[in-house]
């Protein structure tokens, strides 16, 4: 069983759970959950937003643990974004500082859903971040793409999402293409915001994109690709330059 190390200073603070690799850590993925536009209610493990991301973290860990990828799961202090307070972004930056303390210089990969997708994009300017996956992210036309300069980005959005806007995500991806090294946008037919439909495809796309970025960055690109990375390349070829890809 992988070592799991909760890090919690007090009940009102953010919580990190670490899924460690089988050997030496070569990179770290940070998993970020969704929330509400405004709420200072403390986040609990039983809440659906953090619980929803646990299977994604485990799927990524299974793919990466034998290749040196650690997976850190962040539980925010409070449930809301809270306007200029940007509560989850502060928590993400705290988590990134913890990663930097333990693993200075190693590449970091951000995976977020909904509000967590927005958080991941905003936190991408951290110098260790290499790639971002944003699932059904909460974006609008004011969201700046500048944190993604030199990064790799995948946005996945269901075309039946009524909580966050697939159209806004597509517009953002086109703006981000002027900043990021790689931008891919996948529209999932029939899928909604909470990723209940086509859940295996959500997992494959997220894990595959991050594993490919991790392999490219750590010099293992010549090795046999992980199964999710190989599946991603079949579904969304690296040469695909047209946004969106519809699956």
Whole-angstrom Cα distance, residue 68 to residue 27? 6
* Residue 3 CA, distance from chain mean position: 22
Structure tokens at 222: 């010549």
Residue 103 lies in a domain: yes
Query: Which pLDDT does position 160 carry in this prediction?
Result: 96
Residue 2 lies in a domain: no
Residue 92 lies in a domain: yes
Q: pTM for the full model? A: 0.92
Residue 74 lies in a domain: yes
| Mean pLDDT in order along the chain per 10 residues (247 residues) | 40 87 97 96 94 97 96 97 96 98 98 98 98 98 97 97 97 96 96 93 96 89 68 68 79
Query: Which pLDDT does position 240 carry in this prediction?
Result: 53
Whole-angstrom Cα distance, residue 202 to residue 205? 5
Residue 184 lies in a domain: yes
For tokens 């995948």, what's the residue? 154
Query: Which pLDDT does position 5 carry in this prediction?
Result: 43
Go through 140-164 and write b for each residue having 16 or more CB atoms within 10 A of its CB, e for each that does not.
eeebebebbeebbbbbbbbeebeeb
186 neighbors 236 (Cβ within 8 angstroms): yes
DSSP symbol at 39: -
Q: What are the CA-CA distances from residue 124 to residues 14, 132, 193, 199, 220 (Å)?
A: 19, 7, 23, 25, 23
Residue-number span of the structural domain to which 161 is assigned? 7-246
Q: How many domains does the chain have?
A: 1
Structure tokens at 79: 């449930």
Q: Which of 131, 89, 86 is nearest to 107 (CA)?
A: 131
Residue 31 lies in a domain: yes
67 neighbors 8 (Cβ within 8 angstroms): no
191 neighbors 211 (Cβ within 8 angstroms): no
Structure tokens at 18: 């670490």
Whole-angstrom Cα distance, residue 243 to residue 171? 10
> Residue 131 belongs to a domain with what CATH number?
3.40.50.1820
Residue 224 lies in a domain: yes
């Amino acid at each position: 069983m992988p070592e799991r190390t909760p890090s919690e200073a007090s009940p009102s603070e953010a919580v990190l759970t670490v899924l460690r690799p089988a050997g030496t850590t070569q990179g770290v993925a940070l998993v970020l959950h969704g929330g509400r536009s405004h709420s200072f209610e403390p986040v609990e493990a039983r809440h659906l937003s953090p619980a929803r991301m646990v299977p994604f973290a485990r799927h990524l860990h299974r793919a990466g643990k034998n290749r040196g990828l650690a997976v850190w799961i962040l539980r925010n202090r409070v449930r809301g974004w809270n306007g200029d307070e940007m509560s989850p972004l502060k928590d993400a930056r705290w988590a990134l500082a913890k990663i930097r303390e333990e693993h200075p210089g190693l590449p970091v990969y951000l995976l977020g859903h909904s509000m967590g997708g927005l958080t991941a994009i905003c936190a991408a300017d951290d110098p260790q971040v290499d790639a971002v996956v944003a699932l059904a992210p909460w974006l609008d036309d004011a969201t700046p793409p500048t944190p993604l300069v030199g990064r790799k980005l995948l946005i996945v959005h269901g075309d039946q999402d009524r909580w966050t806007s697939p159209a806004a995500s597509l517009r953002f991806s086109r703006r981000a293409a002027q900043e990021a090294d790689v931008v891919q946008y996948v529209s999932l037919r029939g899928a909604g915001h909470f990723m209940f439909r086509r859940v295996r495809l959500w997992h494959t796309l997220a894990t595959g994109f991050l594993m490919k970025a991790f392999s490219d960055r750590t010099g293992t690109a010549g090795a046999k690709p992980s199964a999710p990375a190989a599946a991603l390349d079949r579904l969304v070829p690296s040469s695909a330059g047209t946004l969106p890809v519809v699956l």
